[in-house]
C-alpha cells in the first residue's frame, strides 16, 4: 500500500482530477473505474503520472495507505450510492470517502450520517470549474467532519486553483456534512443569475443600438477591464466574436435560442423557497431558461401585441454605459441574495460557514470567478454578521452611483418590450428591501379578513383580529397563526 490518495470514476472529471493530484509533489494516486477499459486507457496515456491501477475495490483499498482517502467522481445519484456502498465494504474506521460529484446536498447529509455509523468519514465536496478546473485547479467546497479535514485539507489545498490576489488555494472546510454541496449548489444558482444578466445586457445593447455581435464583443472586452472583470464577461466577448464557419454569420445568431439546464439552478430556488429566502434573481434566471425552452408556447405567443412605438435610443454610448451600470447593480443584488441563502442554510442546518472564506474560494478555478469577489470577502471580513451584503459601504457606494442608470434601463426595457426579467426583478428586490413600509400590511389585512389569520400592530404588542363579519371591532387574539 503506497498510494496516499485514490480516485474512483475515471470519466473526464475523475481522470483529470487524478492527473492533477498526480502532478503534485508527494502524491501517489490509486485509480479505479467500474469498467477497467477507462483505467487501462488512463494509465497508458499518462505513464508520467505513476498511477497505481486497481481492477477491484479490494485491490483499490489494498493500494491505499491508512487512513485511506478516496475521491469519488461518478455520475451523481444512484452511481454515487453504489460506489459508497462498495467502498464501505473494503474500507476501515478512520478512512475517508470523498464525493466530488454534483450531489444534491440532502443526499450528502443522508450519506454522511449513514457512513459515519461505520466509523468511516464521509465528505461531500463541491468541485467547480469543469474539466479544465479538474485538471489545472478547481475551486473546492468540502463539507464533512473536522477529523477528515486534517488529512484531506493539505491534499485539496495542493490541487485547488490559486487566487491571483494573494496566492491562497481556493478551498476551505465549508462546514459539516452537506455544507460543501449546499454552497456548491448556491454557486451554480449565482452562475445562472450572472449569465442571465449578461445575456439581458447583450440583448438590450443589440436591440437598442443595432450594434453587431462583434461590436458588442468589444464592449464586453472593455467592460472586462473595469469593476465587471470576470471570467463570464471574458468568455461572453469570445462567444460574441465567433463566426459560424458554415454560414459566415455570427455564431450567436445560428445557435438555437433554447437554454438548457442540469437542475442545480432549480435546486437553489427550491431550497430558497423552503428557507424563505427571496433569491429572485436566480429564480428569474432559472425561469428565463424554462421560458426559452418551450417553442410550442413561444410560437403561439408571437401573436401577442408589443409596444406601439418603435424603440430608438438616441444616445447610444450613454445607453451602453447605463446598461453597464445596471448590470453591475443587478449583479450585486444577485450575489447579495445568493449569500443570503448560504447564511439562511447555515442557520437551518447548523453549519458554521465563514462567508468571507466562501467569497475567497470562488476567486479562481470556478465559473463565477471575478474581481468583485474580493469586495464581497472584504465586506464579510469587516462584518461577518452583515444581514444584507449589499449594505456594505463599498456596495452602497456602487449602488448609489448606478441606481439611476439601472432605473432608466429597466424603464426603457419595459417601454421597448424587451424582456429583462433579471434586471427588473433585481431592481424590485432592491426597492423592496430598502422600503420604509411595504404593502405587506394590506396582505395581513386580507389574510385576517378571509381566514382570521390575525395581525400585529405597529403601535402596541399583542396579536389582533378584526371581527370582519360582525361589527368590525378589533379584538385581541391568541397568537396561534
Binding site for ligand NBP (CB under 6 A): 9-14, 33-35, 38, 73-76, 79, 82-83, 101-102, 127-130
Tell me if 74 is assigned to a ligand binding site.
Answer: yes
261 versus 452: smaller Cβ distance to ligand NBP: 261
160 versus 398: smaller Cβ distance to ligand NBP: 160
Cβ-based burial of 149 (10 A; exposed 0-12, middle 13-18, buried ≥19): buried
Tell me if 192 is assigned to a ligand binding site.
Answer: yes
- What minimum distance in Å lies between the beta carbon of 187 and ligand NBP? 10
Beta-carbon count within 10 A of 433 CB: 16
Distances from the Cα of 433 to the Cαs of 185, 333, 340, in angstroms? Answer: 24, 11, 13
Tell me if 230 is assigned to a ligand binding site.
Answer: no
Tell me if 38 is assigned to a ligand binding site.
Answer: no
Tell me if 10 is assigned to a ligand binding site.
Answer: yes
Residue from 45, 112, 168, 184 carrying the catalytic annotation: 184
Residue from 112, 191, 200, 284 carrying the catalytic annotation: 191
Tell me if 265 is assigned to a ligand binding site.
Answer: no
Tell me if 292 is assigned to a ligand binding site.
Answer: no
**Residue 67 preceded by cis peptide, ω within 30:** yes
38 versus 211: smaller Cβ distance to ligand NBP: 38
Tell me if 33 is assigned to a ligand binding site.
Answer: yes
Question: Which position's Cβ is nearest ligand NBP?
Answer: 101
Parallel, antiparallel or unpaired: strands 464-466 and 474-476: antiparallel
15 versus 330: smaller Cβ distance to ligand NBP: 15
191 part of the active site: yes
Cβ-based burial of 405 (10 A; exposed 0-12, middle 13-18, buried ≥19): buried
- What minimum distance in Å lies between the beta carbon of 170 and ligand NBP? 13
33 versus 268: smaller Cβ distance to ligand NBP: 33
- What minimum distance in Å lies between the beta carbon of 120 and ligand NBP? 18
Tell me if 188 is assigned to a ligand binding site.
Answer: yes
230 versus 412: smaller Cβ distance to ligand NBP: 230
CA gap 103, 363 in Å, rounded: 22
- What minimum distance in Å lies between the beta carbon of 343 and ligand NBP? 23
10 versus 353: smaller Cβ distance to ligand NBP: 10
Q: What are phi and psi of 24, to 5 degrees?
A: -95, 135
Residue positions forming the annotated binding site for substrate: 102, 128-130, 187-188, 192, 262, 289, 447, 453
Residue positions forming the annotated binding site: 9-14, 33-35, 74-76, 102, 128-130, 187-188, 192, 262, 289, 447, 453
Residue positions forming the annotated binding site for NADP(+): 9-14, 33-35, 74-76, 102
Which residues are annotated as catalytic?
A: 184, 191
Amino acid at each position: 500500500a503506497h498510494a496516499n490518495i485514490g480516485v474512483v470514476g475515471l470519466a473526464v472529471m475523475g481522470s483529470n482530477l487524478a492527473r492533477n493530484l498526480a502532478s503534485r509533489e508527494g502524491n501517489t494516486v490509486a485509480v479505479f473505474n467500474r469498467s477497467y477499459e477507462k483505467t487501462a486507457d488512463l494509465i497508458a496515456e499518462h505513464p508520467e503520472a505513476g498511477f497505481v491501477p486497481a481492477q477491484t475495490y479490494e485491490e483499490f483499498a489494498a493500494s491505499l495507505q491508512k487512513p485511506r482517502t478516496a475521491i469519488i467522481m461518478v455520475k451523481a445519484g444512484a452511481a454515487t450510492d453504489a460506489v459508497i456502498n462498495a467502498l464501505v465494504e473494503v474500507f476501515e474506521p478512520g478512512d475517508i470517502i470523498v464525493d466530488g460529484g454534483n450531489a444534491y446536498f440532502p443526499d450528502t447529509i443522508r450519506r454522511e450520517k449513514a457512513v459515519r455509523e461505520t466509523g468511516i468519514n464521509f465528505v461531500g465536496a463541491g468541485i467547480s470549474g469543469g474539466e479544465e478546473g479538474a485538471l489545472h485547479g478547481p475551486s473546492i467546497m468540502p463539507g464533512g467532519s473536522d477529523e477528515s479535514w486534517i488529512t484531506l485539507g493539505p491534499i485539496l489545498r495542493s490541487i485547488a486553483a490559486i487566487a491571483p490576489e494573494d496566492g491562497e488555494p481556493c478551498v476551505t472546510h465549508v462546514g459539516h456534512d452537506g455544507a460543501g454541496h449546499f454552497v456548491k449548489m448556491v454557486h451554480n444558482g449565482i452562475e445562472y443569475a450572472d449569465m442571465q444578466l449578461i445575456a439581458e445586457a447583450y440583448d438590450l445593447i443589440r436591440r437598442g443600438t443595432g450594434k453587431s455581435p462583434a461590436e458588442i464583443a468589444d464592449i464586453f472586452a472593455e467592460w472586462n477591464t473595469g469593476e465587471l472583470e470576470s471570467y463570464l464577461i471574458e468568455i461572453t466577448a469570445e462567444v460574441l466574436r465567433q463566426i459560424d464557419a458554415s454560414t459566415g454569420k455570427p455564431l450567436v445568431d445560428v445557435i438555437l435560442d433554447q437554454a438548457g439546464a442540469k437542475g442545480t439552478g432549480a435546486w437553489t430556488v427550491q431550497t430558497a423557497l423552503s428557507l424563505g429566502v427571496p433569491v429572485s434573481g436566480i429564480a428569474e434566471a432559472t425561469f428565463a431558461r424554462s421560458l426559452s425552452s418551450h417553442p410550442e408556447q413561444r410560437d403561439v405567443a408571437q401573436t401577442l401585441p408589443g409596444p406601439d412605438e418603435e424603440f430608438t435610443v438616441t444616445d447610444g454610448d450613454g445607453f451602453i454605459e447605463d446598461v453597464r451600470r445596471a448590470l453591475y447593480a443587478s449583479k450585486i443584488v444577485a450575489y447579495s441574495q445568493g449569500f443570503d441563502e448560504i447564511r439562511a442554510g447555515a442557520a437551518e442546518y447548523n453549519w458554521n460557514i465563514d462567508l468571507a472564506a466562501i467569497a475567497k474560494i470562488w476567486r479562481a478555478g470556478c465559473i463565477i470567478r471575478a474581481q468583485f469577489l474580493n469586495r464581497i470577502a472584504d465586506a464579510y471580513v469587516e462584518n461577518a454578521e452583515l444581514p444584507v451584503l449589499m449594505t456594505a459601504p463599498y456596495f452602497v457606494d456602487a449602488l448609489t452611483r448606478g441606481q439611476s442608470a439601472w432605473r432608466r434601463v429597466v424603464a426603457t426595457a419595459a417601454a421597448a418590450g424587451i424582456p429583462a426579467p433579471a434586471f427588473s426583478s433585481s431592481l424590485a428586490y432592491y426597492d423592496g428591501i430598502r422600503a420604509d413600509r411595504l404593502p405587506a400590511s394590506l396582505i395581513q389585512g386580507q389574510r385576517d379578513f378571509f381566514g382570521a389569520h390575525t395581525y400585529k400592530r405597529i403601535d402596541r404588542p399583542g396579536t389582533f383580529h378584526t371581527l370582519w363579519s360582525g361589527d368590525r371591532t378589533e379584538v385581541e387574539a391568541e397568537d396561534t397563526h
